Amino acid sequence: MSWAQAILLARGASRGWGGICSTALTGAPFSQVPPQAPRGLRCSAAAHNPDSSLVPHPPEPPRRPVKALAVHEELFRPALDGARNKANFVRAVQNFTEYNVHKRGHVDFIYLALRKMREYGVERDLSVYNLLLDIFPKEVFRPRNIFHSIFLHYPRQQECGIAVLEQMENHGVMPNKETEFLLLQIFGRKSYPMLKLVRMKLWFTRFKNINPFPVPRDLPQDPVDLASLALRHMEPDLSARVTTYQMPLLKDSPDAMDPTETHIVGIQSPEQQSALARHDPARPIFVEGPFSLWLRDKCVYYHILRADLLPPEEREVEEIPEEWNIYYPMQLDLAYGRSSWDDYEFNIDEVEEGPVFAICVAGAHDQATLAKWIQGLQETNPALARIPVVFRLSGSSGELLPSSSELEEPPPPPPEGQEEDDSQQRQQQGQS
Amino acid sequence: MVLTEATRVFWKEAFPFPEVSRDELNEINQFLGPVEKFFTEEVDSRKIDQEGKIPDETLEKLKSLGLFGMQVPEEYGGLGLSNTMYARLAEVIGLDASIAVTLAAHQSIGLKGIILAGSKEQKARYLPRLASGEHVAAFCLTEPASGSDAASIRTRATLSADKSHYVLNGSKVWVTNGGLANVFTVFAKTEVVDSDGSVKDKITAFIVERDFGGVTNGKAEDKMGIRGSNTCEVHFENTRVPVENVLGEVGGGFKVAVNILNSGRFSMGSVVAGMLKKLIGGNDRRVRLHEETVQQEPQDSGRRQACPRLGAPGPRLTLRLGGPGCPCSRSVLTVLTLQEKFALMAQKAYVIESMAYLTAAMLDAPGFPDCSIEAAMVKVFSSEGAWTCVSEALQILGGLGYMRDYPYERLLRDSRILLIFEGTNEILRMYIALTGLQHAGRILTARVKELKRGNVTTIMETVGQRLRDSLGRTVDLGLTGKLGVVHPSLADGAHKLEENVYYFGRSVETLLLRFGKTIVEEQLVLKRVANVLINLYGMTAVLSRASRSIRLGLRAHDHEVLLANIFCSEAYHQNLFILSQLDKHSPENLDDMVKKVSQQILEKRAYICTHPLDRTS
């Protein structure tokens, strides 16, 4: 049980949600871990005010439960200036190596440091990872003979090395030559961390650009920028124009919470614009949403302006008139068409959908805000003034509702007390 | 084969190479003298290019020579030249691109509408003054929002309440002569009541005078080449056009436009031929004598002193290179890779000339024959030939050719427009292929239908034919032999042409069978069909002309035979390659890959590949 908890801790610290289902996780057989309660999935349901918005906000990273201080925790006490940055992190690590010449408890320290990296904002810094690996004593854990390398040599240390690499992997940090050299010095070539490194080097390069629609690593903090990024991400037409219909009020202004004053950002391509101009005013168009779009760890909710598909009998077949092209005939006056042996069309059942005329991302999802968007759209689409617009706003986006999400969650973590007992037990095991 | 039969019918026209009578020739030569003298002595192309304007006195002289009414019938005060004579004259006019374009915009498209579709009154009213050059004509079709599709024309003409005139509103872009012209052929949308009573927008052509009021033009465009010609926007604002000035029928403007454009193209061939011949060093005695006198004039600039022949004003390469006192010359002339370029230029000039005059003669044949495909083929081939040849000529001179002191860069800039105007070459290739396929499709309809229905005899026939072909049959369509029209010394080229024609016919049949009328969408296929057709037409013209030269014993006909054979061989192999590309599943055909690449690029609107120095770690 204890090793599973250990991994759970290491992972849980590195990714907000991850590691929840890691009861199925397998790994090295034993481990020593300081007492700490694992963080279950905790939703901020209490903090959420269902009236303020129709949809939930993207889940906040779960709060850290109050837990017993870990060994070496004092090294990470906030500095005098209170800043949590790379320099302070590096100083903490250096303090450990300086005062601990024998490197006693270095595995615990590394696990702790891994957990702290996110707080210090260094979780994507390769040099910091190398610094952590550098804490390991060199040459001690290298297998001396074939039996060493067959049977896991110094399992707990190797486990810890893997945890460092794992955290690098989760943050997309590619190991470099120095990492390799360190691992070689610490664990030797025939070790599990080395194996992981080799695999990382192989697969990272292949997976790095696998997403044809890349999302920037650092998402903009400004909601307007984030919204326009999301809109660009959804709209395939590069000539589409992003318009900010309303800027949000400044945060410190007294009525910042007023939902009517949030940002409204929309996108529309010229093609959509002309399609809207051609739309039959007798048929209503709909504002639908909110739908969710995930950009890395942020969720953006958007609305679309769409129409129903025309029934087949009312569709106008666009004819190319005979006198269309001055230079060459657009049609051949022949009685026969394409032969079947030159027909490469696959038999695909396509579900036709009605046209989408525009997309918007707004801070609030109520009708008043969206009506402002439609008003803004009218400036560039005069035809919109004649078309009835129906708001079909669903109460939920079908995504991650806090009240219902609890049903889908894994069973809640055991109560704190039991947890503590467990970890104490574990510690005793480790020390024994 | 049905298609080869059709080709034979065509060859009846093309062989023997058409001639003009002695009298006609004398007449042309008589007329040509002063024009040629004027162009070589008085027209300063460099100055025209630099100042971006043709001097007024030059224009006056052109008018007095009658060059503004070359094809206007004599009864209306024009010269009434036949197409052949017009082509001959165009060779000389082509020595200055700006003047050639100005004149062509005036009479090939500007006033052509009045000749083709005008009523008697319209002709009597406008043609005399246009022919004399008192009025200049311009052709207004293209609009900011419309390319080749007539449907998107925005200019609108509304009939006034008393039905006496139309009110014209709209603007046109890229109107050549737009700043000089007094008479415009304008295409605008009008409301036309259809036979079934519905109101439709249709295009109507109008003759608009500047004096009608409301006609303004923008400032002259700054162009890459043909800088002496005037191109600008023309705006019409509530211009009142009398009903009598409708050209052709109301709503019949589309046909008028198509006819004007189709008839205006053939002259580009002879213009290019004249330019290329001049580039190589024309064999006209008078030109040579003249140029030698020019070269004896003292030169001022330092480099010209060092290399006097290079400073001569004319673009003639051979004179420049071989002459004494030109240190750069001897080595250049012994380099084979440079010599080869002269052969290329001669070959192109020869083919273009042959095609141009064959087409002109076919147009002159009685009964208003439709030679629009041929004209388009001449336009495509000659414009591309001009571009390659001028570029090669510049290459021969190396760095000197790049200098503005020499005319080559100007020629290069000027010749670039040839591939673009009067229908871009891409569009004309579509036209050539589609019109040709339409014709072939009509001939083949019965056969294709039987094949599609699975008529056993037709299928067996076809299969048997293919089998015989695959066993290597020689194609003989009767160009050579005892009663043949091609001279035996060109038999090799003729056989190649026959073989190409035969297999091309087969390919066309297969294509129609495969695609039917949806071939309109297969633009890459159409492009290839057009390329083969152009080559075949060139081969026909060249063989016909060279045969005539041998038979008549014209001077240096052995040289012609060489050129003809070179071209036939080259075109033959090109055709074979293209025909193999047209086959289904052929390894030469890379269309699918090419399509994918271009689609991906257009989707991203950027060059997609990462930098060669990029890494992932």
HEC secondary structure over B344-363 = HHHHHHHHHHHHHHHHHHHH
Cis peptide before B327 (omega within 30 of 0): no
Of A208, A336, A344, which to mutate for an interface test with B (greatest number of B Cβ within 10 Å)?
A336
For residue B4, what are the β-bridge partners?
Answer: none
Verify that A95 and A200 share a domain, yes or no. Answer: yes
Distance CA B391, CA B76 (A): 42
Q: Do B448 and A336 touch (CB under 8 A)?
A: yes
Q: At what angle do helices A2-14 and A416-431 cross, to 10 degrees?
A: 110
Which residues of chain A have a CB within 8 Å of the CB of B203?
Answer: 323
DSSP notation for B105-163: IIIIIITHHHHHH--HHHHHHHHHHHHHTSS-EEEE--BTTBSSBGGG---EEEE-TTS
Q: Examine residue A429 and state whether it is found in any structural domain, yes or no.
A: no
Q: Do B617 and A328 touch (CB under 8 A)?
A: no
Q: What are phi and psi of B214, to 5 degrees?
A: 80, 5
Single-letter amino acid code for the residue at A361: V
pLDDT of residue B538: 95
Strand A356-362 relative to strand B156-159, pairing:
unpaired
Exposure string over A357-382, b if 16+ CB within 10 A, otherwise e: bbbbbbbbbbeebbebbbebbeeebe
Cα dist from A129 to A203, A208, A350, whole Å: 19, 19, 50
Q: What are phi and psi of A13, to 5 degrees?
A: -70, -30
Q: Do A332 and B519 touch (CB under 8 A)?
A: yes
User: Does the CB of A178 have a partner CB in chain B at under 8 Å?
Assistant: no
Q: At what angle do helices B267-280 and B97-104 cross, to 10 degrees?
A: 170
CB atoms within 10 A of CB B92: 23
Distance CA B378, CA B434 (A): 16
Which residues of B touch chain A, with CB atoms under 8 Å apart?
141, 148-151, 202-203, 254-255, 257-258, 261, 423, 427-428, 430-431, 434-435, 437-438, 441-442, 445, 448-449, 452, 512-520, 584, 603, 605, 616-617
Nearest chain B residue to A338 by CA: give it.
Answer: B515
Q: Examine residue A294 and state whether it is found in any structural domain, yes or no.
A: yes
Distance CA B166, CA B254 (A): 18
Which residues of chain A have a CB within 8 Å of the CB of B606?
Answer: none
Distance CA B142, CA B138 (A): 12
Verify that A88 and A181 share a domain, yes or no. Answer: yes
| Token digits of residue A199 | 């695999």
Distance CA B569, CA B580 (A): 17
Q: Examine residue A39 and state whether it is found in any structural domain, yes or no.
A: no
User: Does the CB of A145 have a partner CB in chain B at under 8 Å?
Assistant: no
pLDDT of residue A5: 54
Verify that A290 and A390 share a domain, yes or no. Answer: yes
Distance CA B110, CA B177 (A): 9
Q: Show Cβ contacts of residue A129 under 8 Å, excluding neighbours closer than 6 positions.
A: A164, A167, A168, A173, A175, A179
DSSP notation for B317-384: HHHHHHSTT-TTHHHHHH-HHHHHHHHHHHHHHHHHHHHHHHHHHHHHSSS----HHHHHHHHHHHHH
Verify that A286 and A365 share a domain, yes or no. Answer: yes
Single-letter amino acid code for the residue at B235: H
| Contacts by B591-598, CB closer than 8 A, 24 or more apart | B591/B524, B594/B524, B595/B524
- pLDDT, one tens digit per residue, over A83-139 is 788 888 998 899 888 887 788 889 999 999 999 898 888 988 999 999 999 999 999
Q: At what angle do helices B491-515 and B425-453 cross, to 10 degrees?
A: 70
E-assigned strands of A61-165?
none
| Token digits of residue A372 | 């402002």
Ranges of residues in chain A with a pLDDT under 50 are 1, 6-56, 58-59, 62, 64-67, 255-256, 401-432
Number of CB pairs < 8 Å for A and B? 98
Verify that A155 and A193 share a domain, yes or no. Answer: yes
Q: Examine residue A282 and state whether it is found in any structural domain, yes or no.
A: yes
Q: Do A330 and B435 touch (CB under 8 A)?
A: no
- 3-state secondary structure (DSSP) of residue A91: helix
Which residues of chain B have a CB within 8 Å of the CB of A201?
Answer: 617
Q: Do B148 and A208 touch (CB under 8 A)?
A: no
Verify that A238 and A382 share a domain, yes or no. Answer: yes
pLDDT of residue A49: 43
pTM of the predicted model as reported, rounded to 2 decimal places: 0.80
Q: Examine residue A1 and state whether it is found in any structural domain, yes or no.
A: no
pLDDT of residue B199: 84
Exposure string over A177-211, b if 16+ CB within 10 A, otherwise e: eebeebbbbbbbeebbbbbbbeebbeebeeeeeee
pLDDT of residue B418: 93
Contact B352, B388 (CB under 8 A): no
pLDDT of residue B544: 94
Q: Do B449 and A209 touch (CB under 8 A)?
A: no
Closest CA of chain B from A330, distance in Å: 7
The length of chain B, given as a count of residues: 617
Query: Which listed residue (B422, B498, B509, B560) is catalytic?
Result: B422
Cα dist from A134 to A75, A103, A107, B487, whole Å: 17, 11, 12, 91
Contact A362, A303 (CB under 8 A): yes
DSSP notation for B541-610: HHHHHHHHHHHHT-TTHHHHHHHHHHHHHHHHHHHHHHHHHHSTT-TT--HHHHHHHHHHHHHHTS--SP
Q: Is A197 left (phi over 0), alpha (psi -120 to 50) or beta?
A: alpha
Which residues of chain B have a CB within 8 Å of the CB of A274?
Answer: none
Q: Examine residue A193 and state whether it is found in any structural domain, yes or no.
A: yes
Q: Examine residue A342 and state whether it is found in any structural domain, yes or no.
A: no
Closest CA of chain A from B609, distance in Å: 12
Nearest chain B residue to A176 by CA: give it.
Answer: B617
Cα(first)–Cα(last) distance of chain B, in Å? 64
Verify that A226 and A87 share a domain, yes or no. Answer: no
Which among A328, A339, A341 has the least Cβ separation from residue B516? A339
Sequence-ordered alpha helix ranges (H) in A217-280: 223-234, 270-278
Unique residue bearing structure tokens 């986006």? A397
Residues 85-144 of A with CB under 8 A from B: none
Closest CA of chain B from A50, distance in Å: 42
Verify that A285 and A375 share a domain, yes or no. Answer: yes
pLDDT of residue B311: 39
Verify that A286 and A390 share a domain, yes or no. Answer: yes
Which residues of chain A have a CB within 8 Å of the CB of B149?
Answer: 324-326
Nearest to B499 by CA among B481, B473, B525: B473
Q: Examine residue A151 and state whether it is found in any structural domain, yes or no.
A: yes
E-assigned strands of A164-284?
241-246, 264-268
Distance CA B46, CA B385 (A): 23
Which residues of chain A have a CB within 8 Å of the CB of B514?
Answer: 338-339, 341-342
Which residues of chain B have a CB within 8 Å of the CB of A173?
Answer: none
Ranges of residues in chain B with a pLDDT under 70 are 1, 147-148, 282-333, 472-473, 617
Single-letter amino acid code for the residue at B388: T
Nearest to B268 by CA among B346, B368, B129, B385: B385
Single-letter amino acid code for the residue at B16: P
User: Does the CB of A212 have a partner CB in chain B at under 8 Å?
Assistant: no
Which among A324, A326, A338 has the least Cβ separation from residue B516? A338
Domain span at residue A149 reads: 66-208
For residue B149, what are the β-bridge partners?
Answer: A325
Single-letter amino acid code for the residue at A184: L
- pLDDT, one tens digit per residue, over A231-275 is 999 988 888 999 988 887 665 555 445 555 788 999 999 999 999
Cis peptide before A402 (omega within 30 of 0): no
Q: Show Cβ contacts of residue A66 under 8 Å, excluding neighbours closer than 6 positions.
A: none
Verify that A83 and A133 share a domain, yes or no. Answer: yes
Single-letter amino acid code for the residue at A240: A
Residues 234-253 of A with CB under 8 A from B: 236, 238
Nearest to B390 by CA among B105, B94, B174: B94
Q: Show Cβ contacts of residue B34 under 8 Å, excluding neighbours closer than 6 positions.
A: B65
Contact A300, A227 (CB under 8 A): yes
The reply to whether B422 belongs to the active site is yes
- 3-state secondary structure (DSSP) of residue A340: helix
Report the number of distinct structural domains present in chain A: 2
Single-letter amino acid code for the residue at A257: M
Verify that A288 and A371 share a domain, yes or no. Answer: yes
Distance CA A71, CA A430 (A): 14
Helices and strands (DSSP H and E) totals, chain B: 24, 8
Single-letter amino acid code for the residue at B485: V
Which among A208, A329, A338 has the least Cβ separation from residue B518? A338
- Which of A208, A238, A272 finishes a domain? A208
Which residues of chain B have a CB within 8 Å of the CB of A177?
Answer: none
| Token digits of residue A239 | 């000539």
Verify that A81 and A191 share a domain, yes or no. Answer: yes
Contact B248, B255 (CB under 8 A): yes
Torsion over CA of A88, A91, A92 and A98, rounded to 10 degrees? -170
